[in-house]
Amino acid sequence: MKIEKNLKSIGILLFLLAGSFSFAGYKSELSERIKQFENEAVNTGNTTVEMTDAAEKYYKNVDNELNTVYKKLISELERKNKSKAKENLVKAQKNWIKQRDEKAKAVPREGSVTTINVYYLMAELTQKRALELAEMLDNLSK
């Protein structure tokens, strides 16, 4: 009898824990994936070429995540018939891309590390935007 109660308590606890993970939200999950990309980039390479490749991969991974969350958000807006919000998002995203690219062009030219610096800046800006969109998606999905 006591064993059954303990097993039941453990089962309830596991159910609650599993539920808390599933409700963590897209933003939280995205943040964890991006941290993994960043850690991989920071801990890769000893030469400038290797560091450049790692920085490029980091940026591309974060950019892929941004594109994914953007598409999910657009789909959710369409599903909820929020055409004005969708239109505003598309405009805002185009403006954000222009601003990101302008900031990247403004990175000081410092020889062989310039490309690395540009990739890290682009990744940082893209990460921030991806998390903003993920938060919008989480709020829209509530």
Per-residue pLDDT tens over the stretch 20-43: 334 579 999 999 999 999 999 999
Is the pLDDT score of 18 beyond 80? no
Instruction: Write down the mean pLDDT value for the chain.
Output: 87
Judged by average pLDDT, the poorest of 22-36, 37-51, 73-87 is 22-36
Is the pLDDT score of 77 beyond 60? yes
Is the pLDDT score of 9 beyond 50? no
Tell me what the mean pLDDT of segment 49-55 comes to. Answer: 95
**CA atoms within 13 Å, Cβ hemisphere of 129:** 25
Tell me what the mean pLDDT of segment 32-61 comes to. Answer: 95
Rounded to two decimals, the pTM is 0.81
Q: What is the pLDDT of residue 26?
A: 96
Is the pLDDT score of 89 beyond 70? yes
- What dihedral angle (degrees, nearest 10) is formed by the CA atoms of 54, 60, 65, 69? 160
Q: What is the pLDDT of residue 45?
A: 86
Is the pLDDT score of 54 beyond 60? yes
Q: What is the pLDDT of residue 3?
A: 52
Phi, psi of 122 (to 5 degrees): -60, -40
**Nearest by Cα to 42 from 123, 126, 125:** 123
